[in-house]
Amino acid sequence: MKLGIMVSEGPYQHQASDSAYNFTKAALEKGHEIFRVFFYHDGVNNATRLTVPPQDDRNIVNRWSELAKQYDLDLVVCIAAAQRRGLLDENEAKRNGKDANNIAEGFRISGLGQLIEAGIQSERLVVFGD
Amino acid sequence: MEEGGGVTKKFLYVNRKAPYGSIYALESLEVVLIGAAFEQDVSLAFIDDGVYQLKKNQSTDGIGMKNFSPTYNALGDYDINKIYVDKDSLEQRGLSLDDLMNLTYEDENDNYAEKPSISLVNSEELAALMEQQDVVLSF
């Protein structure tokens, strides 16, 4: 089955990102196709490479990056939600006159249209929120 | 028209939270407005504290936040005219249809007559509405 995933909460504070990750990984291992994972609301914080979790805990951001690499996953961060929360890629940092960027490997920043497209193209869009 | 591939699906946006205590209402509205460009079959549902999003005469003067409620008036112009409000949620909060913004659209199949966009529904009707959808986005 072709699935779309939406993640609406940030890492660590809510379980939503963990559940989304575990669901996505399990679906891929079962041979399902993940059309896209879309990060919205505080979910955009799953994409910052500046998180430093304790070493004996899971690294939620790296885990997504590794899954993306392994399965060529499309991890998309909403640009409007990202900008108001301080998530920038190199281009957006430059465009907005900021001195740093923080997007982790495997994620890309794009518009909300990517979420709607995931709803249209996927057989199921599964939302992970609070 | 963006990458829809000519497919029309039934999209339901479920709004459950009050407008200013968190950002869900505002960011839901942003998805609805962007999504309008894809010409899908869109419905909106307002349940629980979400019914406060449609309250008329909102003022955010005291909280230093932007009052985005006027934007709901534009939904009719985006062909978004199926707005369902949970009757029980309204009543539990001491509200009625008269307390909500008068959201309308122009019916192009009826000589552009102005018609109300909001319908009050009970929980069974809401369940049936959700059952009909291809995509349910919950905020």
pLDDT tens digits, A95-129: 999 999 999 999 999 999 999 999 999 999 999 99
Tell me whether residues A113 and B38 touch, CB distance under 8 A.
Answer: yes
What ipTM, to 2 d.p.? Answer: 0.92
Q: Of the residues A37, A73, A78, A79, which is catalytic?
A: A78
Separation in Å, CA of B66 to nearest CA in chain A: 14
Give the whole-angstrom CA distance, residue A78 versus residue A57.
27
Give me the domains of chain B, ranges plus CATH numbers. 10-138 (3.40.1260.10)
Residue B119 sits at the vertex; the CA angle it makes with A125 and B65, to the nearest 5 degrees, is 70
A6 close to A122: Cβ distance less than 8 angstroms:
no
A23 backbone dihedrals φ, ψ, rounded to 5°: -65, -45
CA B14 to chain centroid, in Å, comes to 8
pLDDT at B7: 86
B37 touches chain A (CB under 8 A): yes
The answer to whether residues A122 and A3 touch, using CB atoms and an 8 Å cutoff, is yes
Residue B66 reports pLDDT greater than 80: yes
Give the β-pairing of B10-15 and B41-46.
parallel
Work out the mean pLDDT of chain B and round it to a whole number: 95
Nearest Cα to A89, choosing from A48, A34, A37?
A: A48
Give the pLDDT of residue A16. 97
What mean pLDDT is predicted for residues B51-74?
A: 97
**What CATH number corresponds to the domain at position A9?**
3.40.1260.10
Give the closest-approach CA distance of B83 to chain A in angstroms: 19
Q: Which domain holds residue A30?
A: 2-128
> What tokens appear for B19 in the block?
């407008």
At which residue do the structure tokens 């599964």 appear? Answer: A126
Q: What is the pLDDT of residues B85-117, one digit of tens each?
A: 999 999 999 999 999 999 999 999 999 999 999
The pLDDT of residue A130: 86
Q: Is A66 a catalytic residue?
A: no
**If contacts are CB pairs under 8 Å, which of residues 90-129 in chain A contact chain B?**
111-113, 115-117, 119-121, 125, 127, 129
Q: Most distant CA pair in chain B: distance in Å? A: 46
Is pLDDT above 70 for B4? Answer: no
Residue type for position A76: V
Q: Minimal Cα–Cα distance from A34 to chain B, Å?
A: 16
Contact state of A119 with B4 under an 8 Å Cβ cutoff? no
Per-residue pLDDT at B5: 66
Place of tokens 């946006």: B13
Strand order in the sheet with B135-138: B118-121, B83-86, B41-46, B10-15, B135-138
Task: Please write the tens of the pLDDT for every residue from A25-77.
Answer: 999 999 999 999 999 999 999 999 999 999 999 999 999 999 999 999 999 99
- Within 8 A of A40 by CB-CB distance, chain B residues are 27, 31
Q: Which residue has 């001491």 as its token pair?
A: B94
CA trace torsion B102, B105, B110, B112 (10° rounding): 110
The total of structural domains in chain A comes to 1
> Averaged over A81-97, what is the pLDDT?
96
- Three-state DSSP state, B79: coil
Q: Reply yes or no on whether the pLDDT at B1 is more than 60.
A: no
Residue A101's contacts (CB-CB under 8 Å, 6 or more residues apart) are A88, A89, A90, A92, A93
* Nearest by CB: A112 against B11, B31, B135: B31
